[in-house]
Structure 1
Amino acid sequence: MPGGWKRSTETDGEKLSYEPRTEESGHAELPHSPAGTPRSWDGRQSGSGDTAPHYIPEQPRRSLDEVVLPDTVRQRVELALDLVAHHTLLYDTWGLRSIDPHRRGTALNLYGPSGTGKSLCAEALAHRLGRPVINVDYAQIESKYVGDTPKNIVRCFEAAREHGAVLVFDEADSILGSRLSRVSQSADHAVNVSRAVMLQQLDRCEGLVVFTTNFPRNYDAAFVRRILTHVQFELPDLETLHRLWEQLLPEALPVDPGLDRHALARESAGLAGGDLVNVITGAAAVAARRGGESGVVTAVDLTAEIESARRARDEVGHSPEPGTPAEDTVRRLSQAEVPGSLGPSL
């Protein structure tokens, strides 16, 4: 279990939780993630005596001012913040609860192509609100042990409530996928149970939950209705690309003094901010290999990496085709993973 925490158990042996050790025990009250730790999670899947997962809040490191977005996207993000900041005014003072009586918290969905800043924006939302953030992805929730996946879902919501944290689910299409209408094995039933528990936790949650996804079409309709605002992240336009080039090139990076950011923006049309990070990193490596007086990043270096990034977008990987049944995009447990199974059928 995480250092500085103690395990507490219910008498029925079913519910497990973790509580911070007090100062009397000689440990700090709250654990701190190491600098640069990308995920707010520690521990292993429960079952077979392993420690159950625990979700640790982190302080967001990036502010919304550091996130470069097209104006249309930023306006939607600001609206999402208004929904959180003025929730009491909207629902209690202005009476929106009369038409939406069951909504306690706010759920947001950030969707769009990879590399457009969804996860970064989710962290920046927590920063703006002055709250810690708990990042959760599919691997931290899914378990091969029957009943553990729903328990993991409940645990992360409990952790967010305890610490007043913003709960962020990356790759949310894996978690919010459609329930299966044709249940043919125990694994199918487990998928439906997990979806039902997630719906229940969303209804009970009084804080902010942010989902990010590259595949929004995979969401179950019941989740779409419970999410208050959906913000589409778009590939950057020419003006946004120029701002990205201005911000992403580190001051310490040796670059050709005549580097034209406007030309780079035109050259990189169709790429996302995440692509530009890879472009700059690759070009910097080329310059480092040359070394000496030639060890500066040039327009030629960047243009070559831009073309490489564009080829990768075109030739490597693909999104599901429109109309692909959601059931075909949901991971099913293999027969060997189903408890009681004798392994793959011959």
Structure 2
Amino acid sequence: MPGSWKRITETDGENPRYDARTEERDHAGPLAGPAGAPRSSDGGQETGNGDTAPQFIPEQPRRSLDEVILPDTVRQRVELALDLVAHHTLLYDTWNLRSIDPYRRGTALNLYGPSGTGKSLCAEALAHRLGRSVINVDYAQIESKYVGDTPKNIVRCFEEAHEHGAVLVFDEADSILGSRLSRVSQSADHAVNVSRAVMLRQLDRFDGLVVFTTNFPRNYDAAFVRRILTHVKFELPDPETLHRLWERLLPEALPIEPGFDRGALAQESAGLAGGDLVNVITGAAAAAARRGGESGVVTAGDLMLEIKSAHRARAEVGRAPEPDGPAEYTVRRLSREEVLGSNVAPDAVKAEDAQSPDSAPSPVAAPETQA
């Protein structure tokens, strides 16, 4: 008998038979299946992200549409989207729009625009107006490392929404509705195309409301654009909307210095989104809490300082996507020394030497960052 083997010993009815495989499994973890996927102790293959399949649980919306402060033009488009859902039977059955659009069973909406303009909040408020629960789905929930599980997760979230009559919301939808790959060179490319095809099919079959939100609408595949009934562009708040935001966002319980001008705050915060204003108020409140005592109230100076900080962050940190134009690339022309193989590092070239691809006469160029 090989030295690494252990003899199987007979036991009574109280103790199980023992062999080396049992000990090996206890020390090395679950036995692997034929395809290398881990298996549970009873032999069943585990699926989904991690060890269990994702759960798509309906939740009750906490915000109403009356709490969402939007520019008038945006609100009109949102109200039109609600009309499409509320009057679906009248439009498609009584007025027979089904004769020209026979395959549409539900309604898909797309909310797009800069970050912080209230897209996700509005999606939740739409469910509140319709009296439905909401299922929020992000890419991490449906993406799986196991072959074939991502399409199954897509189907599962639609089934849960149908069963509970819930509004299905996909945040950062550009990661899910991205363009299909025309050149499939590896299995991962094929898996991407299969997932996109399953999503298209589920949209055709689903009879409820699906809401997509994104900061990068240009990344959508054209087939998804056609299946989405209404696209609502969310914009940065105008002066009147900013004034209403300042009236609404400051909590009554927040100790505020009396007499400061909300109109001045609205004027100074031009170019900021509602999400930026929430950060401004939170930062100003933290400064007041640090002072404490009688001076522990939020002053106009606290808010102005945080507004300046928010403007600086928008200008210096990151770059907001441009929904109205295609993606751009910053291209740096290589110096003569670099082309000839000198030791000059690429980072040594100044930023002002960067130029657009169309204006670069040199045939040698290196793409750096995507806008």
Q: Deviations over 1:265-299 (max 9, x none)?
A: 00000000000000000000001001111111111
* Separation in 2, partners of 1:192, 1:303: 49
Find the counterpart in structure 2 of residue 248 from structure 1. 249
| TM-score (normalised: structure 2) | 0.74
* Partner SS for 1:211: strand
Which residue number in structure 1 is paired with residue 302 of structure 2?
A: 301
Superposition pairs for residues 266-277 of structure 1, below 5 Å? 266-277=267-278
Measured after TM superposition, the shift of residue 323 of structure 1 is 3.1
Structure 1 stretches lacking a partner, 5+ long: 1-44, 326-346
Q: Does 1:46 align with 2:38?
A: no
Quick one: percent identity of the two aligned structures?
88
- Report the 3-state secondary structure (helix = DSSP H, G, I; strand = E; otherwise coil) of the residue aligned with 1:230: strand
Q: Does structure 2 retain, via aligned residues, the 8 Å contact 1:215–1:319?
A: no
Contact 1:167 1:210 in 2 (8 A): yes
Shift of 1:240: 0.3
Query: What is the alpha-carbon distance in structure 2 between the residues aligned to residue 73 and residue 48 of structure 1?
Result: 37
Report what 1:90 is aligned to: 91
Question: What pairs with 1:1-346 in structure 2 (closer than 5 Å)?
Answer: 46=47, 50-319=51-320, 322-324=325-327
Q: 1:263 to 1:320 in 2, by over 3 A?
A: closer
Larger radius of gyration: 2
Q: Is the 8 A contact 2:249 2:278 kept in 1?
A: yes
Indicate the SS of the match to 1:54: coil
Q: Which amino acid aligns with 1:324?
A: A
- Give me the whole-angstrom Cα distance separating, in 2, the residues matched to 1:319 and 1:234: 13
Structure 2 distance, partners of 1:181, 1:265, is 48
Report the residue type matching 2:91 in the other structure: L
State how far apart, in whole Å, the 2-side matches of 1:324 and 1:95 are: 40
Contact 2:65 2:128 in 1 (8 A): yes
* Maintained 8 Å contact 1:136/1:170: yes
> What are structure 2's unaligned runs of at least 5 residues?
1-45, 329-371
Shift of 1:145: 1.2
The count of aligned residue pairs is: 281
With 213-222 and 137-146 compared, the bigger mean Cα shift is at 137-146
Distance 1:324 1:244 in 2: 31
Structure 2 distance, partners of 1:171, 1:269, is 25
- Quick one: which amino acid aligns to residue 294 of structure 2? E
How many Å separate the matches in 1 of 2:327 and 2:269?
Answer: 31
Give me the whole-angstrom Cα distance separating, in 1, the residues matched to 2:125 and 2:146.
Answer: 35
Instruction: Give distance in 2, aligned partners of 1:203 and 1:75.
Output: 26
**What is the DSSP-based 3-state SS (H/G/I as helix, E as strand, rest coil) of the residue aligned with 1:235?**
coil
**Distance between the aligned counterparts of 2:51 and 2:288, measured in 1?**
47
The one-letter code sitting in structure 2 at the alignment partner of 1:110 is: L
SS at match of 1:134: strand
**1:30-64 Cα deviation digits (max 9, x unpaired):** xxxxxxxxxxxxxxx82598211110000101000
Alpha-carbon separation, structure 2, partners of 1:200 and 1:158:
13
Query: What is aligned with 2:11?
Result: none
Indicate how the Cα distance of structure 1 residues 88 and 301 shifts in structure 2: closer, same or farther if over 3 A, else same: same
